Structure 1
Amino acid sequence: MHKSIVREITPLTQNDCFTIFSRVKKEFNFPLHYHEEFELNLITNAKGAKRIVGDHIELIDDLELVLVGPNLSHAWFTAQCQSNEIKEVTIQFHRDLFDEKFLSRNQLSFIRKMFDQSAKGILFSKETAQAISARIVSLHQQTGFDSVMALINILHDLSSSRNIRTLSEATFNTGFQINFNSRRIEKAFEHMNKNYDKPITLGDIAKLVNMTEVSFSRFIKKRTGITFIDSLNEIRLGHASRILIDTTNSIAEVSYSCGFNNISNFNRLFKKKKHCTPKEFRENFSGTRTFF
């Protein structure tokens, strides 16, 4: 039998701009899934429930607002939640509702950046969720053109809000395309993504993009906010997370197949990034799969 994350076909048709549905329930019972559409989820009164977005796992508070990008696996599970009245409002909209040319305009730059980040999943601050929740809840009372404008206004306010936190590793979502507005950085990341299982040095990448090691080291830190080695480790950990879920390979096999030559180093880096061991991470996903 083949274990798989469910691909959900949402009820959104090509004639719709977006859909919104709200419900009150006693538990979360939808399996880990993904779909083509963006999804904005407002969840209240579910303290202690478990959220999984990509390879990120966390117990949630009593109010949360999360934006999930296209084809990123996600689900909420009851876990330690004691509530009998979980409230959930979900908005789903097409990935091409805003086309590339429209998003490239200066006035849309914040929304464009937010959509790029949503490939990892975005958790908005509690303050933002409190400030915007009433508008999300009342969105279904709008009609026609007004409802679309109301959604755009909500997305704009979310995109310019403070303390946005991304959740998953970039490489966990295979459809993720990061845009650093630099051909050199794109070339470097392309190479690291293709060859993460092989030895890669700073010298290799610097040579690939025609820069000295010192220059490229400064360049990647300035453009991405993290060092070359951290970028490479993030890519490798993203692939490792995927393999841990999709296979029964041993931790050592996963470690070596993702370019980590030292299993204790792999365990240490994994725990630092994910706040759990590779074994605990794999166990967290058990029971969340659907069997076909």
Structure 2
Amino acid sequence: MKPLLFRIPKTEVESFRVQVDDLPHFYDTLHFHPEWQITLMLEGTGTHFVGDKVARFQPYDIYFLGSNLPHVFRNDKEYYTSRLRAHSVSVYFRGDILGEHFFDIPETQHLKILLSESSRGFRIRNNEANALTQLIESIAEKQGFEKLLTFLKILDEISVSPQKEFLSSITYQNTRKELDNQRINAVFEFLMQHYAREIILDEVAEIANMTPNAFCRFFKLRTRKTFSAFLNDIRIGHACRMLQSGNSSVLEICFASGFNNVSNFNRQFKQRMKMAPGLYLRQYDSAR
């Protein structure tokens, strides 16, 4: 599949766009657009790929994505075969939304910093609704000047949030080369479909139309991770989801996530989650 340069629809009566998505699953192709994007997840779980970062998303996560930052939110497999819904509220806007120099005045310097920081993309994780998620959700119902004030309030609240978690690495370079994006998108799509089985380097390199050695160099340069580490990130993310569901044993989850032995699964899980799978399950159960 080819990564798309999105054209965000805009009319003469709005300076920024608010979009509510309530679908079987989110759009699942890597893409970018010149607008900044704020997205609140209301329903749906899955895996995000932002710049060079792959991780899980969940309800009440808030994303702030910079201009032309490649990204995709791919729902879990069951969203494609069930009646589950993916529901989000997004705000798309340009840097000159209130004039060329609006973010240069003293009162908006903190917002100018916010826009600059978003070139890497960041996320605010929330386990439940709060004042900020309610504010973002409410903008879909606002009109005119009240809508604009709500937008500015959202920016202000996000800028002072202590929970901002940067996504792409500080060394991430957005090359925006069509062929590079096309290759990464094809690999990402393949891994999301087949992470639960054994995957060998040669077949993934073939998908990218590269030799294994060239693919390894390309992939590390593009994602700042080795291919095996990236694949294990995806597998551990899905293992966490299965642990949270509480319907399978650690041993079952190990093999269902694509690991062929428990010791490696435990090691990879602890490396990423800073705890063993059993402790993760107990902590999650106690928090419910």
Range into which the TM-score falls when normalised by the shorter chain? 0.5 to 0.7
SS in 2 for 1:84: coil
The CA deviation at 1:62 is 2.8
2-side partners of 1:174 and 1:90: how far apart?
Answer: 25
**Does 2:53 align with 1:56?**
yes
CA contact (8 A) 2:64 2:123 kept: yes
How far does the alpha carbon of each residue in 1:174-229 deviate from its partner, in whole angstroms, 9 at most, with x for none?
48xxxxxxxxxxxxxxxxxxxxxxxxxxxxxxxxxxxxxxxxxxxxxxxxxxxxxx
Distance change in 2, residues 1:126/1:257 (3 Å): closer
SS in 2 for 1:44: strand
Distance change in 2, residues 1:125/1:111 (3 Å): farther
**Does 2:95 align with 1:140?**
no
In the alignment, which residue of structure 1 is the partner of 2:229? 277
The CA deviation at 1:37 is 0.8
CA contact (8 A) 2:36 2:67 kept: yes
2-side partners of 1:125 and 1:69: how far apart?
Answer: 18
1-side partners of 2:73 and 2:219: how far apart?
Answer: 28
SS in 2 for 1:132: helix
In the alignment, which residue of structure 2 is the partner of 1:172? 173
**Does 2:30 align with 1:75?**
no
SS in 2 for 1:148: helix
**Does 2:113 align with 1:113?**
yes
Distance change in 2, residues 1:95/1:26 (3 Å): same
Q: Match for 2:211 among 244, 250, 259?
A: 250
Q: Which moved more, 1:246-255 or 1:106-115?
A: 246-255
Letter of the aligned partner of 2:59 in structure 1? D
CA contact (8 A) 1:244 1:282 kept: no
Q: What TM-score, normalized by structure 2, do the two folds share?
A: 0.60
SS in 1 for 2:69: coil
SS in 1 for 2:84: coil
Q: Which moved more, 1:157-166 or 1:105-114?
A: 105-114
Unaligned stretches of 5+ residues in structure 2: 186-207, 236-288
Question: Map of 1:40-55 to 2, 5 A cutoff?
Answer: 40-47=38-45, 49-55=46-52
CA contact (8 A) 1:120 1:173 kept: no
CA contact (8 A) 1:39 1:68 kept: yes
Letter of the aligned partner of 2:70 in structure 1? S
The CA deviation at 1:282 is 11
The CA deviation at 1:169 is 3.4
Percent sequence identity over matched residues? 18
**Does 2:149 align with 1:149?**
yes
- Measured on the aligned residues, the alpha-carbon RMSD in Å equals 3.6
In the alignment, which residue of structure 1 is the partner of 2:240? none
**Does 2:20 align with 1:19?**
no
Unaligned stretches of 5+ residues in structure 1: 176-240, 261-265, 284-292
Q: What TM-score, normalized by structure 1, do the two folds share?
A: 0.59
CA contact (8 A) 1:50 1:59 kept: yes
Q: Count residues with an aligned counterpart.
A: 206
CA contact (8 A) 1:53 1:74 kept: yes
2-side partners of 1:5 and 1:257: how far apart?
Answer: 17
The CA deviation at 1:23 is 3.0
